[in-house]
Amino acid sequence: MKLLNALFRSPTARPALVASAALLVSATLQAATPAAPAFKADIARGQQLAAACMACHTADGTRGAPANPILQGQHPEYIVKQLAEFKSGKRRNAIMQGLAAGLSEEDMKHIAAFYASKPAPKGFAGNKDTVALGEAIWRGGIKAKGVPACAACHGPAGSGIPAQYPRIAGQHAAYTEAQMNAFRLGERANNAQMMTIAGKMNEREIKAVSDFAAGLR
């Protein structure tokens, strides 16, 4: 105790002791404060929030109009990422930007959980004349143009990787084609990698691989 009192009376030691005491008190308070519960997305809440989405994406995110993406079975992380980028303006679409503007991050996670909770749809390729070209690009890319295989990022079966790469298997060929052309023309700029890849492809190649991906299972 005498040593402690002496240290506190010392002008040189006092600041360090005060700082140490403050750190000790802070650590004690943090240890005593219960951790906030981990966020858990609510599928039922997501269904309620998705009411505004249903006009374009149907009631459960299934096939719907080819101009709109199938959301059923899509990775929730990818859906959240796209909604956040619509809200920020990084990805542009007048309808989606308007809908995303009023959503909080938690709202987005609820909606994403609702669509992701459903089984991924099964699609089919519609053009037998381009299946071989589409498969060649999907499996091996276009070496002469420096285009990598689509399967390298989206997986051999088109299942994708959460957040980074969407599930494409079973997606509307028309929608995939439209997005790739948007990347190619710089109209969609929220993925530099896809802009580079699509920029090296022509319309025929894009159409062929989009149609092939629609039939992946």
* Model pLDDT, residue 84: 98
Per residue in 46-73, pLDDT (tens digit) is 999 999 999 899 877 777 889 999 999 9
How does DSSP classify residue 36? Answer: P
Residue 160 pairs with which residues in a beta bridge? none
Q: What CATH code is assigned to 43-116?
A: 1.10.760.10
Task: Provide the CATH topology of domain 131-214.
Answer: Cytochrome Bc1 Complex; Chain D, domain 2 (1.10.760)
Over the stretch 70-104, which tens digit does the pLDDT of each residue have? 999 999 999 999 999 999 999 999 999 999 999 99
Residues with Cβ within 8 Å of residue 121, at least 6 apart in sequence: 62, 63, 70, 72, 73, 170
Predicted confidence at residue 26, as pLDDT, reads 53
Residue length of the chain: 217
- pLDDT tens profile 133-190: 999 999 999 999 999 999 999 999 999 998 889 999 999 999 999 999 999 999 999 9
Torsion of Cα atoms, 171 then 176 then 177 then 180, to 10°: -160
Tell me which residue has tokens 């360090």.
16
pLDDT at 13 over 70: no
| In the chain, domain spans | 43-116, 131-214
The whole-angstrom separation of Cα 83 and Cα 97 is 8
Virtual torsion, Cα 176, 178, 183, 189, nearest 10 deg: -100
- Asked if 43-116 and 131-214 have one fold, the answer is yes
Integer Cα distance of 34 and 183 in angstroms: 46
What pLDDT sits at residue 2? 55
Residue 180, CB-side half-sphere exposure with 13 Å CA sphere: 24
pLDDT band at 121 (very low <50, low <70, confident <90, very high): confident
Residue 161: strand pairing partners? 165
Contact 212, 130 (CB under 8 A): yes
User: Per DSSP, which regions of 47-154 are E strands?
Assistant: none
**Predicted confidence (pLDDT) per residue in 20-39, tens digit:** 544 554 555 455 556 767 88
Q: What is residue 33's predicted lDDT score, i.e. its pLDDT?
A: 59
